[in-house]
Amino acid sequence: MIGLFVPVFFETIDYTVVSTAQVHIASAFNRLDLESYIGTAFLLTSTVFLPVFASIADVWDRHWTLQLSLVFFIVGSAVSTGSENMATMLAGRGIAGIGAAGLQAVVRIIMADSRSLNDNNWQQTLLFFLYTVGFCVGPVIGGALLSVSFRWIFAINLPTSFVGIVLAFLFLRTRTKGRGFTDSPSVEKESTLERLARVDWFGASLFMAGGILILLALNWGSVFGWNSGRVIACFVVGGIVYIVFIGLELFLGRTASHAASSIRRVLPMDPMIPMDIFSSYDVCIDLFTMFVSGLVMLVAFYFISIYMIVVTGLSSTKAGAQLIYFAPGMGVGSLLQIQMVKYLRQPKYPIILGTTITPIALGLISMAMQNIKRPQINGFLAMAGSTAVHIRFLQSNDRVAIVAALTLFFRSLGGTVGLAQCGAVLNSKIQSHMASLTSSGLLTPAQASELSQSAGSLTSLQSIDALPLEVQALVREAFRSGSRWSFISLIPWAGLACICTFFLSRIKDTNVPQPPSPKEVPLEAVSESMPPGDATADKDLITVELDSKVV
């Protein structure tokens, strides 16, 4: 597992380090107006490429897909390190995001390949530990590197990624699991060209194009207005592209089930996202739960920073330090999850507990914001961090890779939707507050317009500081109210997720010996009755273990 977790740790460090240094990086190129695009470029590619790498990991193997991801991450970091303008910087972040998508996807896929609840339990614990350490030390490392040069923030990824490549080769090169969706008897004998033909490149292009358009619309909505032409166009065109994508995947899914058909010989691609996986209640609800998890986590990071800086008057550095309280919560939640799974033998129970605590934590955070109680906010933020439990559910062998990638995709999508929703709530509350202050004569129309336009951004702090002290207090009150209602707006999402998780299925514990039945042949019997590597034996193995897979 060393070769698996080291790349993830440094990818987490990269994310936290860059997010705290975006303003300084943009200022170095005199393009502070493009500061947010440093994160957006990374977010777009690291989200839309997740299912693509899952498809590649199925057609080829896990190890070489991980190595490809590390190469993309190195190239992107190198481009950002040597960038001389903002365009090159954004290109580098986009390429690094492609690598990050592969790292996230392949790590979860390899973990999901394990059939043991016990193995999944300790692997997930170590993963949460690395995330916790990354979130804690990332801002510290970023500050130290930034004091020398912002280029070191990206240059540090080069040697660490090379170490990751070596460790992956030493410890993971035997990870060749990956059969695709058709279970073709000749898969192991396929040439490189035949494997390339099995990848749904056209579907991947449609998925990425539609995803980028919709994510751009969600990011631009709070900046240019939800009724602006570019936002509406991105939503409409992105929606049409996704409709075409769904139609293509349904068609390929039907042809894949008839391996001998003439259409299959002409179009040998496997669907990138088989639509039949959405017929499972467990899959749909757990994907929705991951969506809500990403929504809550990203909003907490972004909007608590805004609240701490604008309302409580903390510096950017001290405001960022408040987010560290989320990490101990993750650690406590991980330890609690270990014990619950260890003794109850059902992953659904920590999921239910996490989704139950989430709306409570959101309500308590909003209450603490109302009362401007910073210690309470930090405590309730840790409480929200403890709800970050790992999602596991039933899925057959040939769906492991894509379902693992979809959980990450929906988490990233949730974060983007959450920022868009809460940005709209914050702007609406502040604009209504500005209107009341203007009508009362406490603000001039020009001052109100300037503050309203920059309300959802930390750059509005300079505008607030330029106001008279008595007016500053009124404006900060508007931010307090807007931030509070932003968190309240998330409670319906969290409440719905809580209700849905109560109906998750119980999984079969693969660590407990099960007596053979007429419908369930022992795996040893299957392996002994068929020659090693026999395609029919592998197919029977998948049939025997159908619906016992722990993801």
Contacts of 251 (CB under 8 A, 6+ apart): none
pLDDT at 543: 30
Residues 307 and 172 in one domain: no
Q: What is the pLDDT of residues 337-395, one digit of tens each?
A: 777 877 887 778 888 888 999 999 999 999 999 888 888 888 888 888 777 655 554 45
pLDDT at 398: 60
Looking at 114-228, list the stretches that DSSP marks H as alpha helix, in order from N- to C-terminal side: 117-148, 151-155, 157-172, 192-198, 201-224
Query: What is the chain's alpha carbon radius of gyration, rounded to the nearest angstrom?
Result: 24
Asked if residue 100 is part of any domain, the answer here is: yes
Beta bridge mates, 394? 550
- Looking at 133, 151, 180, which one is the last position of a domain? 180
Exposure of 269 by Cβ count < 10 A (0-12 exposed, 13-18 middle, 19+ buried)?
Answer: buried
pLDDT at 459: 46
Exposure of 215 by Cβ count < 10 A (0-12 exposed, 13-18 middle, 19+ buried)?
Answer: buried
Asked if residue 315 is part of any domain, the answer here is: yes
pLDDT at 473: 81
Report which DSSP code applies to 367: H
End-to-end CA distance of the chain: 17
Asked if residue 543 is part of any domain, the answer here is: no
Taking residues 406-428, report their average pLDDT. 86
Residues 158 and 302 in one domain: no
Distance between CA atoms of residues 358 and 383, nearest Å: 8
Does the structure show a pLDDT above 50 at 246?
A: yes
Asked if residue 448 is part of any domain, the answer here is: yes
Residues 346 and 481 in one domain: yes
pLDDT at 259: 58
- 291 is written with which tokens? 């969506």
Q: What is the pLDDT of residues 425-474, one digit of tens each?
A: 888 888 787 778 778 777 777 766 666 555 544 444 556 666 677 777 87
Asked if residue 171 is part of any domain, the answer here is: yes
**Residue type, position 154, single letter:** F
Position 34 confidence tier, pLDDT thresholds 50, 70, 90: confident
Query: Which of 29-38, 208-217, 254-263, 511-520 has the highest average model confidence (pLDDT)?
Result: 208-217
Residues 171 and 316 in one domain: no
- 328 is written with which tokens? 């101990």
pLDDT at 484: 92
Asked if residue 261 is part of any domain, the answer here is: no
On average, the pLDDT of the chain sits at 77
Residues 339 and 465 in one domain: yes
Does the structure show a pLDDT above 50 at 544?
A: no
- 139 is written with which tokens? 């801002």
Taking residues 137-153, report their average pLDDT. 79
Does the structure show a pLDDT above 70 at 62?
A: yes
pLDDT at 423: 82
- Domain count for the chain: 2
Q: What is the pLDDT of residues 188-226, one digit of tens each?
A: 566 777 777 788 889 999 999 999 999 889 888 877 888
Determine how many CB atoms are found less than 10 A away from the CB of residue 538: 19
Count helices and strands in the chain by DSSP H and E runs? 24, 0
- Looking at 180, 212, 231, which one is the last position of a domain? 180
Residue 102 domain boundaries: 1-180
Position 534 confidence tier, pLDDT thresholds 50, 70, 90: very low
Residues 321 and 463 in one domain: yes
* Position with higher pLDDT, 220 vs 6: 220
Q: Label each residue of 438-492 as H, E or C.
A: HHCCCCCHHHHHHHHHCCCCCCHHHHHHCCCHHHHHHHHHHHHHHHHHHHHCCHH
Distance between CA atoms of residues 268 and 277, nearest Å: 20
Taking residues 163-171, report their average pLDDT. 87
Which range (2-16, 36-50, 338-352) has the least confidence? 2-16
- Looking at 146, 180, 214, which one is the last position of a domain? 180
Asked if residue 461 is part of any domain, the answer here is: yes
Residues 303 and 168 in one domain: no
Distance between CA atoms of residues 282 and 274, nearest Å: 16
Percent residues over pLDDT 70 in the chain? 73
Does the structure show a pLDDT above 70 at 521?
A: no
**Can you tell me whether residue 84 is helix, strand or coil?**
coil
* Position with higher pLDDT, 455 vs 36: 36
Distance between CA atoms of residues 472 and 466, nearest Å: 8
Asked if residue 380 is part of any domain, the answer here is: yes
Q: What is the pTM of this model?
A: 0.76
pLDDT at 353: 87
pLDDT at 316: 65
Does the structure show a pLDDT above 60 at 477?
A: yes
Sign of CA dihedral 22, 25, 27, 31: negative
Contacts of 313 (CB under 8 A, 6+ apart): none
What's the CATH number where 176 sits?
Answer: 1.20.1250.20
DSSP letters for 270-338: PPSS-GGGGG-HHHHHHHHHHHHHHHHHHHHHHHHHHIIIIIS---HHHHHHHGGGHHHHHHHHHHHHH
**Can you tell me whether residue 520 is helix, strand or coil?**
strand
What's the CATH number where 390 sits?
Answer: 1.20.1250
- 491 is written with which tokens? 């409670």
